[in-house]
Structure 1
Amino acid sequence: MGGLGCTLDGHLNDQKFSAPMPWIGIYIVAASLACLVAMAADLIYGFRHTQFWFPCRFFSINATSLTLIAAAVKLSVDLNTSMPSRCDQLAKLSSTIFVCTIMANSMPSLGTMGNEEIFMNIMALGILVITLIVNICIQLATGAIFLFWKEHAFVMFIMLVLLVILSFSALTVPTTKRYLEFKYSKKYELVLKEAPSLNNQTLVSKLRENLTKYWMMAYSSSPQFVMGRSVTCTASGALCLVSAMILGEAMVRSFFLPWSLKFCNGESDYKWSTTIVLVTQTIAVGVGTIAPACRWLFAIRFRCPYRGNKGSKTEFKVERYWIQRLEEMKECPLTSAIFKLQNRHCRRIAHDAKNRLLDLCIALQTGIVSVSKWVRFVSIFSASYIFLCCDFCRKLKRKFRLSNTVSSGVNSEPDSQPDPRLDLSRFVLHLEGEEALVDLMIRNNYDATKHWFHLGTKRQPKYLIKLLDKSSQGFRALAYFDSDQVPSLGYERPPNSWALPVVTLTSIALALPNIDRSSIRDLRCGVNEGLLYVQNMEKYLDTKADLTNIKKAAEIVWTEVELYHKWLGLDLRKVSLLQGKSANEVLEELAQIAKDKFLEYEKANLTVLCLKDSPLKWPIKLLASNSMYRISKSLLLNCERSNKTAEKLFEDITVMISDILGACMTNLQQVISVKCFSSAIEERERSVRHAIFVLGKIEEILKILEHKQVPNLDTEQMACIDEWRLLHTQKDSLVNFGSSPLETDTPSSASTDVYIGID
């Protein structure tokens, strides 16, 4: 009796080998569908944000996409499965063209990669493409592909050209990034020089003006945009469109001219799945071709600023940045491994071989760019007459409207007024040969910041605004949350951060008895909204000391307080519900609990050496316990001077929290400026866009801060809470806390200036 592998007569039983083939076809469909969805998402994103160079946000050349491509082209690399029918042969062709579509579609994603990542991804893609071409050639020779051999040959040529374009375009990415990074830093300094004086502008309008400049700089220097508008990328779009047309021609011949082709009888092992593969990949080719074709068409449209322009001598000039990387490689010496060769003659041969190879690459790169420019020139020449006709029709339409306006007596005076818009031409970062695109980039992106700003204004932090309205002039109350009269717990006192005192004060406020629930809710929500901005400020500005543990302590403690109303396991609600306890007794109890926890954590953790070394290295729970102890004791000292009720103490704590948050948020304009510069060039466009959105959210907050008497501190001092405390302590050393900033404070009209640390 034969087993699963052999028949009864001992021969190989291959009847079941082809049984799973249709499900392999479904696997191919799933991989193709994943690529289709990602490319469609990029297409929708580009249209939605009017970025018609279509950045690759969802689909790019990486390990995941290359794995999906390898699965999607299974039919094209299958050497020995018979594919006799019309759908079978078309499915092989669609798989091949699908690779061309993916290569052209994902070309801008090269701008987001580092040097090593580019090299690895291009190498992997090259291996995949060469393998695909070799397998197709074998099938053409064996007859597995017996139709559309001309189409396959043409598509293989396009695929090889696209691979070469992709590889040599990748060489320019480090050069353009370095050049645009240098130009961005110079323009950034120019913005800072123009920023210090408000010139009768409000703080919000000045920041909006600066962010408009930053946006134009970030957008025009985006590595994906630079790659997307390059001549090689637009040429790859034309090649992608040609490959899609080849698939369309093959399908038309197959379905509408069946007599021109002769198919074989029989059924493929893939059976019905090849039809699904063909439909899926045809849709994917159609969707994936839109973005590359649009890049090509818009390059034609925007490279014709003057209709009928036949080009100029500079139109075919190969700019230096195309070959600069290769020239730098040529100037560099060989690696140390080569120089370990003992024979001087061998070393010279290796060095000369390297130079000859790089000379060949330089010539090839020059040829690729020149051919790409010729493709663009021919496209522009062909389309220029169409644009002339469109312009003529547009002028006639404008004259007709003007004549109607004059005859109807409509006042046209507003149209004759000068355009007051900001001149952004100085802040457009472009490469050599892209001068014609400056006006285009300004025209398409001048009003982009308005959209994100208005989105931010619709999501303003209402609880935080309500909380900041209670802040005192000059934010003087923040000097009293930590008194120097409180004895330490036997070790050096850790420095204060912005977030941890706010979290601790809020915890104390939640533990006070007889407080209205709506007041507690407003305080908790306001602090929760404010801590988001405090964390950003500490991330970008407060870098004077390593406050990592203190920042973590604030985040962990606040999560417990905000979600569960607990502080290090202590239920604050139970403390607040204790009847008969005064505010002083609650503070005394919290201080004692904090002290006990400090000693408990000290014994539980072997941290004696750490504690004696530096308070910045204390564990998180020790830092939180120390903060609760010191702040509770400081509040207790102030309460003992004037016997305060829980309600009055809650109001005082609210003002303290408001002042700490307000003082911290005076640094927001500096945070915005630093964020627009410090982010990587690949992420800078997104960072500036987020900064504009945040500015819209904090518009009302900045208006509140403008009417506070902010002390004259330099940028580093404003970013440090202990510097604020020191300044206010020196000024108010003779004034009692109970009667100074919280009780007798009135808004001052003497000055409404806010220190603007844009630089």
Structure 2
Amino acid sequence: MGKLGCGVDGNLNEAKFSEPMPWIGLYIAAASLACAVAMAADLIRGSRQQKLWFPSKFSSINATSLTIIAVAVKLSVDLNAAMPRRVDQLAKLSSGTLLCTVMGNSMPSLGTMDNNDLCTNIIALGILVVTVIVNTGVQLGTGVIYLYWKEHALIMFLMLVLLVILCSSALTVPVNNKYFQYKYNKKYDMTLKEDSNETRKRGDKELKEDLMKFWMMAHTCSPQFVVGRSVTCEAAGALCLLGAMILAQAMLRSYLMPWSFKFCTGESDYKWSTILVLIAQTIAVGAGTIGPAIRWFNAVNFRCPIRRKKSGKKKLTVERYWIQLLVEMKDCPLNIRFQDRFCKKFAHDVKYKLLDLCIGMQTGIVLGSKVIQFISSHNPLQNQISAVTLCILKGKRNWLS
């Protein structure tokens, strides 16, 4: 067993340092399964309620979920644990893919946050994503990750793009919530006024029409519905599906064409728990990709034939609400007072340049998302996949009901 602390030769005894690692791996697998259960619960709930934008109730972005995600992607930030085997290298890749899946799956939850929670959660998620990207890059450089270089590079790129898309969508939430609350109150008052002017007894048909009217008002003004049907959320669904496909092809090539890889011998410090982590994260990626993919399919298929005939110039325009918050911030004066006139002018110039850059980036993100939408809506293969997916989902919904 050896003595704890210093050995006979005076050096630190490291014999027991790696003994808890398999149990830490089991902890990572449990956190990954928790993510899978949360995303599957939202998928089943959305299917049963026929809300095919799949509102995020259990897999929303908050302090608890971010903590669980941080535990689940622990392998991606482990810089010095040896991962020689095939399953070890795949577990490294699946951790990054899981983070991409969770980001895309929980995107509608942005609509239900207030401004403070929105800012705090996005910053916390950004710190986690940047940490994972940097640590993965370090492992690629040091040789801890010695296989699937291209896959890791693509996953890191998808992580960064999804983070930027989340930030872009978060900028529209305060503006959209304020606008839809105003429109909802206005329509609600109009409806009450119309009903108060009618004194005759209403039949079943009229009552049904009124019920549908109120339901549609509440349905389309739902914050999660607005975010879930946005062009950025649609693009995030496509990117989540791409990430899952990257992981799937890496796993298939590893097990069906093992001669194309040269795996090292030895054993990881996580030992038997690594295979559990890989299985749990593969399940989580599979369960979490279905919702964003269906959002993408449905949003593309919702485009009517008349709109498809419009010119690309008409489609590739950025609506006002995407940049309205940034424009308002640019027009607002600085709250900081400067005694020196030069410092005041310099601060204002920096503010204008920075916000102009943010407006340009926001415009580019929205245009890029619309390009993905345009390509998807004109892809015949996508329409066939969408039809098959909707048939499967319809059968699943009938079974659940």
Question: TM-score range, shorter-chain basis?
Answer: over 0.9
**Are the equivalent residues in 1 in contact too, given 2:31–2:69 (CA < 8 A)?**
yes
Q: Deviations over 1:106-157 (max 9, x none)?
A: 0000000001100000000000000111100110110000000111111101
Do structure 1's residue 288 and structure 2's residue 288 form an aligned pair? yes
The amino acid across from 2:346 in the alignment is: I
Aligned runs of 1:302-341 on 2, under 5 Å?
302-306=302-306, 309=309, 311-335=311-335, 338-339=336-337, 341=338
Q: What is the alpha-carbon distance in structure 1 between the residues aligned to residue 326 and residue 224 of structure 2?
A: 21
Q: What is the alpha-carbon distance in structure 1 between the residues aligned to residue 310 and residue 23 of structure 2?
A: 55
Hey, what does 1:300 align to over in structure 2?
A: 300
**Are the equivalent residues in 2 in contact too, given 1:229–1:295 (CA < 8 A)?**
yes
Do structure 1's residue 258 and structure 2's residue 258 form an aligned pair? yes
**Are the equivalent residues in 1 in contact too, given 2:84–2:266 (CA < 8 A)?**
yes
- Cα separation, partners in 2 of 1:329 and 1:385, compared to 1, 3 Å: closer
The amino acid across from 2:75 in the alignment is: L
- Cα separation, partners in 2 of 1:216 and 1:276, compared to 1, 3 Å: same
Which of 372, 394, 398 lines up with 1:375 in the alignment? 372
Which of 346, 349, 357 lines up with 2:354 in the alignment? 357
SS at structure 2 position matched to 1:172: helix
Q: What is the alpha-carbon distance in structure 2 between the residues aligned to residue 190 and residue 312 of structure 1?
A: 37
**Larger Rg belongs to:** 1
Hey, what does 1:343 align to over in structure 2?
A: 340
**Are the equivalent residues in 1 in contact too, given 2:104–2:162 (CA < 8 A)?**
yes
The amino acid across from 2:48 in the alignment is: R
Q: Deviations over 1:427-464 (max 9, x none)?
A: xxxxxxxxxxxxxxxxxxxxxxxxxxxxxxxxxxxxxx
SS at structure 1 position matched to 2:8: coil
Q: What is the alpha-carbon distance in structure 2 between the residues aligned to residue 192 and residue 308 of structure 1?
A: 37
Hey, what does 1:559 align to over in structure 2?
A: none
- Cα separation, partners in 2 of 1:363 and 1:79, compared to 1, 3 Å: same
Q: What is the alpha-carbon distance in structure 2 between the residues aligned to residue 21 and residue 147 of structure 1?
A: 22
Aligned runs of 1:25-104 on 2, under 5 Å?
25-104=25-104
Q: What is the alpha-carbon distance in structure 2 between the residues aligned to residue 162 and residue 384 of structure 1?
A: 24
Q: What is the alpha-carbon distance in structure 2 between the residues aligned to residue 169 and residue 233 of structure 1?
A: 8
Hey, what does 2:202 align to over in structure 1?
A: 201
SS at structure 2 position matched to 1:323: helix
Q: Deviations over 1:333-369 (max 9, x none)?
A: 112xx21x22111011011101110000000000000
SS at structure 2 position matched to 1:7: coil
Q: CA deviation at 1:385?
A: 9.2
Q: Deviations over 1:640-695 (max 9, x none)?
A: xxxxxxxxxxxxxxxxxxxxxxxxxxxxxxxxxxxxxxxxxxxxxxxxxxxxxxxx
SS at structure 1 position matched to 2:163: helix
Q: CA deviation at 1:205?
A: 6.9
Q: CA deviation at 1:248?
A: 0.5
Q: What is the alpha-carbon distance in structure 2 between the residues aligned to residue 243 and residue 332 of structure 1?
A: 40
Do structure 1's residue 105 and structure 2's residue 105 form an aligned pair? yes
Aligned runs of 1:100-179 on 2, under 5 Å?
100-179=100-179
SS at structure 1 position matched to 2:379: helix
- Cα separation, partners in 2 of 1:2 and 1:152, compared to 1, 3 Å: closer
Aligned runs of 1:709-724 on 2, under 5 Å?
none
Aligned length: 384
**Unmatched segments (≥5 aa) in structure 2:** 388-401
**Are the equivalent residues in 2 in contact too, given 1:66–1:125 (CA < 8 A)?**
yes
- Cα separation, partners in 2 of 1:386 and 1:47, compared to 1, 3 Å: closer
Aligned runs of 1:167-566 on 2, under 5 Å?
167-196=167-196, 197-201=198-202, 209-306=209-306, 309=309, 311-335=311-335, 338-339=336-337, 341-383=338-380, 386=383
The amino acid across from 1:225 in the alignment is: F
Q: What is the alpha-carbon distance in structure 2 between the residues aligned to residue 376 and residue 384 of structure 1?
A: 14
**Identical residues among aligned pairs (%):** 62
Q: CA deviation at 1:210?
A: 3.3
Q: CA deviation at 1:2?
A: 7.1
Q: What is the alpha-carbon distance in structure 2 between the residues aligned to residue 161 and residue 277 of structure 1?
A: 25
Instruction: State the TM-score, normalizing by the size of structure 2.
Output: 0.92
- Cα separation, partners in 2 of 1:216 and 1:82, compared to 1, 3 Å: same
- Cα separation, partners in 2 of 1:46 and 1:18, compared to 1, 3 Å: same
Q: CA deviation at 1:253?
A: 1.1
**Are the equivalent residues in 2 in contact too, given 1:55–1:108 (CA < 8 A)?**
yes
**Are the equivalent residues in 2 in contact too, given 1:330–1:355 (CA < 8 A)?**
yes
Instruction: State the TM-score, normalizing by the size of structure 1.
Output: 0.49
- Cα separation, partners in 2 of 1:89 and 1:190, compared to 1, 3 Å: same
The amino acid across from 2:183 in the alignment is: K
Q: What is the alpha-carbon distance in structure 2 between the residues aligned to residue 331 and residue 125 of structure 1?
A: 29
Q: CA deviation at 1:3?
A: 3.5
The amino acid across from 1:127 in the alignment is: I
Q: What is the alpha-carbon distance in structure 2 between the residues aligned to residue 53 and residue 62 of structure 1?
A: 20
- Cα separation, partners in 2 of 1:350 and 1:307, compared to 1, 3 Å: closer
Aligned runs of 1:12-31 on 2, under 5 Å?
12-31=12-31
Q: What is the alpha-carbon distance in structure 2 between the residues aligned to residue 6 and residue 64 of structure 1?
A: 39
- Cα separation, partners in 2 of 1:54 and 1:305, compared to 1, 3 Å: farther
Hey, what does 1:495 align to over in structure 2?
A: none
- Cα separation, partners in 2 of 1:344 and 1:76, compared to 1, 3 Å: same
Q: What is the alpha-carbon distance in structure 2 between the residues aligned to residue 117 and residue 205 of structure 1?
A: 43
Hey, what does 1:740 align to over in structure 2?
A: none
Q: What is the alpha-carbon distance in structure 2 between the residues aligned to residue 63 and residue 38 of structure 1?
A: 15
Q: CA deviation at 1:386?
A: 5.0
Q: What is the alpha-carbon distance in structure 2 between the residues aligned to residue 160 and residue 138 of structure 1?
A: 16
Aligned runs of 1:611-630 on 2, under 5 Å?
none
Hey, what does 2:9 align to over in structure 1?
A: 9
Q: CA deviation at 1:303?
A: 1.3
Q: Deviations over 1:694-741 (max 9, x none)?
A: xxxxxxxxxxxxxxxxxxxxxxxxxxxxxxxxxxxxxxxxxxxxxxxx
Q: CA deviation at 1:201?
A: 1.5
The amino acid across from 1:365 in the alignment is: Q
- Cα separation, partners in 2 of 1:40 and 1:142, compared to 1, 3 Å: same
Q: CA deviation at 1:6?
A: 2.1
